[in-house]
Amino acid sequence: MNQFALFGNPNTGKTSLFNMLTRSYETVGNWSGVTVEKRIGTLRGRSGRIVDLPGLYSLLPLTEDEGVAARFLMEETPASILNIVDASQPERNLYLTLQLLESGRPMLIGLNMIDVARNRHISVDPQVLQRELGVPVLPIIARKGTGCTDVLHALGSLTAPGSEGFRLDYGPAVEQGVSDLCILLRTLPSSSAPRWTALQLLEGNEAVRTALAGRIDGEALDSILQQTGRELEAAGFGCDVSAHLRQVRTQRIARICTAAVQRSDQAVHTATERIDAILTHRILGIPLFLAMMFLIFKLTFDWVGSLLSDVLDGFISGMLSGWISAALGGLGASPFTHALVVDGIVGGVGGVLVFLPQICILFLLISFVEDSGYMARITLLMDRTMEAVGLSGKAFIPFIIGFGCNVPAIMAARTMEHRKDRLLTTLLVPLMSCSARLPVYALFAGVFFASNQALVVMGLYVLGMVLALALAKLFSRTLLRSEPSLFIVELPPYRMPQPLSLLRMTWEKVKGFLRKAGTIILAGSVVIWFLSNTGSSGFGVDMNDSFLASIGGALSGLLAPIGFGTWQAGAALITGFMAKEVVVSTMNIIYQVPDMAGLEHQVAAAFTPLQAFSFVTFILLYIPCLATVGVIRKETASWRWTFFSMGYSLVLAYAVALVIYQGGKWIGFA
């Protein structure tokens, strides 16, 4: 099957186009670095496969996500390229285009965001561009789907540009180097044009060099590279080879743009500038950001989320549970099956599903922030603080994504330029309170702090954030001492997220939660139910003599100083490692309650407010969940750092809970 690869600068709408061409709903956003991993989809009409790649400015990768895209071109040898060019930034975008053209593969250019360009009085003539570049150019608006059918058709009939394809003359010195290298590369089978490979080697592309390692004579290669550099210098160019290549390409782009791009000199005072004057204001900016965060919590926990949640709870614990009981009775199910389904599964899974409304609203609001363009501004506002603790302001993007789920958040750390920034962010993201911890807070805050739920929950989020910053300072001073962090951010124009795409993005994330409810939480609930009903004397023991009680009880001595030395709490913490929601499932099963009100009653009897606060703080910090541990291992490629992330969070959680509980008792709280 034909394989097409999507290449383009960051934040130019590659994933939007990918979604349109494949009917997928991959996450889109309005900042640079939304996509950090390649994704494969089948084109509508099944005419081929298309690969969505992270954005990059040139084929020389600087960050991990760019490396994914650059290596793809070498290793997976896509048959054809679909290059997205942002029509409002033609000069910058065409740089990558020229490098891609040199690879000699069949290529189609999607000239995207022609509407944005028009608003800024920039018009790019696709015909002229097509003539200058020698490959088809189609104007599109990927976000709205305009022109996407044409792209689909054109992809079907794409052919290689042939020998008279695009070619840039880099001057005698470089051209000599290129032909020398071509002779060296002659024996290698390659799907890329030898000229392209030669030029990439001259430019210093590590991805290409690594791919060729061992297959060509390294010494001969180096001697050609040095020779070319010397001759370039002798010819009177005062720069190195890569700078020279860039210069030649930039000059050519300037010529192309003179022909194809028309700009009116009319000054554009865009809405973006007016909005930024307020949102990134030097005094108002940070308070507005905090106010927005508070609004998100208010909406999630107070105004909308908990109201809907109560309705859902009424339905699940009342009607649904009743129906299931009746159905089981009708089928003549044994008491064992009845107890397993009603107490184990409905109690465990249903107890978590009750929080679906809060999770939906939180994801919806995060998607709104992602798609609006505000994300990049947050990094700008927070950079000063982040710099003070040795991080880049860009680390704040993974932190915010982490409020939804830690797994994609850790992957988002790839977009940072320094390895140290990436590692530090990866280690600290688990302190961001993800949506899985939300059911635990909602349960406990509902019982003990009902009158100011949003405030208490926001306090927990802030605590996680403050501890992350404090540890960033500590780690960057001790473990990861190296060069200072780096910060540069592109501020894309604001745009109003489209309701439909917002709902789809939210649904994609909510689906992940539902999938988890149907797998890990379901399996966990069944196992917990069994463990809570079996003991050394067999099945049907009193719960206090069950295996679960002995497992949880083993920890109780250790947990007593921090306020919750019961086997129930210990068991909930152990099972919570699978997924934090399972803490609530476990409590539901252990306390064997039919509905939220019953559980709240039980919890109120088992914990004092101070113990409850210590417990939720411990839940916030104590360990990254199983899925997060997996992704930390994958991103750091090191078991040492993975165990470190688990170890430090356990120690931190214990220390903080100890301070809260013992300190609280000392002050006089119960």
Partner 1 sequence: MYQRKISNSRCSALVHIKPGAFATVQALDAISPLLRRRLRDLGVAEGSRLKVLRLGPFGGPLTFECAGQHIGIRREDAGRMEVAPA
CB neighbour list of residue 271: distance below 8 Å, 6 or more residues apart:
494
Q: Which range binds partner 1 by CB under 8 A, 127-135, 270-278, 561-569, 579-587? A: 270-278
Residue 91 CB, shortest distance to partner 1, in Å, is: 6
Residue 113 CB, shortest distance to partner 1, in Å, is: 12
Nearer of residues 376 and 502 to partner 1, judged by Cβ = 376
How many residues are listed for the chain in this entry? Answer: 670
Q: Determine which residue in the list 390, 393, 497, 576 makes contact with partner 1, applying CB under 8 A.
A: 393
Residue 120 CB, shortest distance to partner 1, in Å, is: 6
Q: Which range binds partner 1 by CB under 8 A, 21-29, 383-391, 450-458, 502-510? A: 383-391
- Taking the CA atoms of 493, 494, 496 and 500 in sequence, report the sign of the dihedral they define: positive
- One-letter-per-residue 3-state SS of 23-75: CCCCCCCCCCCCCCCCEEEECHHHCCEEEECCCCCCCCCCCHHHHHHHHHHHH
Helices (H), ranges, 213-343:
218-234, 241-260, 271-279, 285-297, 305-313, 321-331, 335-339
Q: Determine which residue in the list 383, 421, 581, 600 makes contact with partner 1, applying CB under 8 A.
A: 383
Q: Determine which residue in the list 127, 169, 266, 283 makes contact with partner 1, applying CB under 8 A.
A: 283
Assess contact for 133 and 107: CB atoms under 8 A.
no
Q: Is 273 a binder of partner 1 (CB under 8 A)?
A: yes
Fill in the per-residue mask, 477 to 506: x = in contact with partner 1 (CB under 8 A), - = not in contact.
---------xxxxxx---------------
Q: Is 387 a binder of partner 1 (CB under 8 A)?
A: yes
Q: Which range binds partner 1 by CB under 8 A, 52-60, 69-77, 556-564, 638-646? A: 52-60
The single-letter code of the amino acid at 23 is R
Cα atoms found within 13 Å of the Cα of residue 61, Cβ hemisphere only = 25
Find the Cα–Cα–Cα–Cα dihedral 406, 614, 654, 428, rounded to 10°. 20
**How far is residue 438's CA from residue 580's CA, in Å, rounded to a whole number?**
9
Q: Determine which residue in the list 285, 524, 552, 624 makes contact with partner 1, applying CB under 8 A.
A: 285
Residue 171 CB, shortest distance to partner 1, in Å, is: 19
Residue 319 CB, shortest distance to partner 1, in Å, is: 53
Q: Is 384 a binder of partner 1 (CB under 8 A)?
A: yes
DSSP classification of residue 349: I
Q: Which range binds partner 1 by CB under 8 A, 56-64, 144-152, 292-300, 571-579? A: 56-64
Q: Is 13 a binder of partner 1 (CB under 8 A)?
A: no
Q: How many CB atoms lie within 10 A of CB 570?
A: 23
**How far is residue 17's CA from residue 212's CA, in Å, rounded to a whole number?**
32
Cα atoms found within 13 Å of the Cα of residue 95, Cβ hemisphere only = 17
Q: Is 120 a binder of partner 1 (CB under 8 A)?
A: yes
Query: With 0-12 CB in 10 A as exposed, 13-18 as middle and 19+ as buried, what is 222?
Result: exposed
Residue 420 CB, shortest distance to partner 1, in Å, is: 12
Residue 141 CB, shortest distance to partner 1, in Å, is: 18
Q: Is 33 a binder of partner 1 (CB under 8 A)?
A: no
Assess contact for 44 and 152: CB atoms under 8 A.
yes
* SS3 assignment, position 134: coil
Residue 416 CB, shortest distance to partner 1, in Å, is: 11
Find the Cα–Cα–Cα–Cα dihedral 126, 129, 134, 139, rounded to 10°. -30
Question: Strand 261-263 relative to strand 122-124: parallel, antiparallel, unpaired?
Answer: antiparallel
Residue 254 CB, shortest distance to partner 1, in Å, is: 11
Q: Determine which residue in the list 40, 45, 62, 466 makes contact with partner 1, applying CB under 8 A.
A: 62
CB neighbour list of residue 204: distance below 8 Å, 6 or more residues apart:
60, 241, 242
Residue 382 CB, shortest distance to partner 1, in Å, is: 9
CB neighbour list of residue 79: distance below 8 Å, 6 or more residues apart:
2, 3, 4, 105, 106
Q: Which range binds partner 1 by CB under 8 A, 123-131, 278-286, 527-535, 542-550? A: 278-286
* SS3 assignment, position 130: helix
Q: Residue 283: left (phi > 0), alpha (psi -120 to 50), or beta?
A: alpha
Nearer of residues 251 and 452 to partner 1, judged by Cβ = 251
Q: Is 222 a binder of partner 1 (CB under 8 A)?
A: no
Residue 185 CB, shortest distance to partner 1, in Å, is: 26
Q: Is 372 a binder of partner 1 (CB under 8 A)?
A: no
Residue 477 CB, shortest distance to partner 1, in Å, is: 19
**How far is residue 240's CA from residue 227's CA, in Å, rounded to a whole number?**
12
Nearer of residues 353 and 465 to partner 1, judged by Cβ = 465
Q: Which range binds partner 1 by CB under 8 A, 302-310, 324-332, 377-385, 560-568? A: 377-385
Nearer of residues 46 and 282 to partner 1, judged by Cβ = 282
Question: Strand 107-112 relative to strand 49-52: parallel, antiparallel, unpaired?
Answer: unpaired
Residues 401-430 interacting with partner 1 (rule: CB under 8 A)? 417-418
The pair of three-digit structure tokens given for residue 293, joined into one six-digit string = 């965060």
**How far is residue 402's CA from residue 410's CA, in Å, rounded to a whole number?**
8
Q: Is 380 a binder of partner 1 (CB under 8 A)?
A: yes
Find the Cα–Cα–Cα–Cα dihedral 590, 407, 308, 343, rounded to 10°. -20
Closest CA to 11 of 145, 116, 133: 116
Residue 428 CB, shortest distance to partner 1, in Å, is: 21
Fill in the per-residue mask, 121 to 140: x = in contact with partner 1 (CB under 8 A), - = not in contact.
-x------------------
Residue 640 CB, shortest distance to partner 1, in Å, is: 26
Q: Determine which residue in the list 19, 80, 280, 425 makes contact with partner 1, applying CB under 8 A.
A: 280
**How far is residue 340's CA from residue 348's CA, in Å, rounded to a whole number?**
10
The pair of three-digit structure tokens given for residue 439, joined into one six-digit string = 């059911």
Q: Which range binds partner 1 by CB under 8 A, 89-97, 124-132, 300-308, 349-357? A: 89-97
Q: Is 291 a binder of partner 1 (CB under 8 A)?
A: no
**How far is residue 420's CA from residue 416's CA, in Å, rounded to a whole number?**
9
Fill in the per-residue mask, 233 to 252: x = in contact with partner 1 (CB under 8 A), - = not in contact.
-------------x---x--
**How far is residue 317's CA from residue 305's CA, in Å, rounded to a whole number?**
18
**How far is residue 639's CA from residue 642's CA, in Å, rounded to a whole number?**
5
Q: Is 88 a binder of partner 1 (CB under 8 A)?
A: yes
Residue 167 CB, shortest distance to partner 1, in Å, is: 23
Residue with tokens 């891609």: 100
Q: Which range binds partner 1 by CB under 8 A, 84-92, 206-214, 326-334, 544-552? A: 84-92
Q: Which residues bind partner 1 (CB under 8 A)?
A: 57-58, 60, 62, 88-89, 91-92, 95, 120, 122, 246, 250, 268, 272-273, 276-277, 280, 282-283, 285-286, 376, 379-381, 383-384, 387, 393, 417-418, 486-491
